[in-house]
Amino acid sequence: MILDNECVFCKIISGELSSNKVYEDESVLAFEDANPQMPHHVLLIPKEHYASVADGVPEVLLGKLLAAAPKVAQICGIDQTGYRICINTGDDARQTVHHLHLHLLGGAKMPINMGAVD
């Protein structure tokens, strides 16, 4: 497993920092966002460090991240009501942690003007 010692998400993966874990498998870790934008705001991250979706992420790993999202939605109880999946890529897209992550948001009616997710 390749981790970046300076990356906050890699520190969560290694156990150096704590998180409110929602889901975990061999490739993916999902935990509650520290600054939630919706009643349910979960981050899904690969257990290997990739700065963004544009960082040569293997297609199989991207598939595993996306496949984990409905599982997390079910755990959160929002699988029947709806949810949004968002990936910010790069500074202009407001990616604040440069470790690939999916935002899974739900638990209430999504605001029409909700664009980028920090």
Q: Which is it for strands 28-32 and 21-24: parallel, antiparallel or unpaired?
A: antiparallel
Residue with tokens 């290694």: 14
pLDDT at 34: 95
29-71: pLDDT as tens digits: 999 999 999 999 999 999 999 999 999 999 999 999 999 999 9
Is 8-106 in CATH node 3.40.50.2300?
A: no
Domain borders along the chain are 8-106
Q: What is the pTM of this model?
A: 0.94
Does position 116 have pLDDT exceeding 60, yes or no? no
Tokens of 15: 């156990």
Residues known to be catalytic: 101
pLDDT at 65: 97
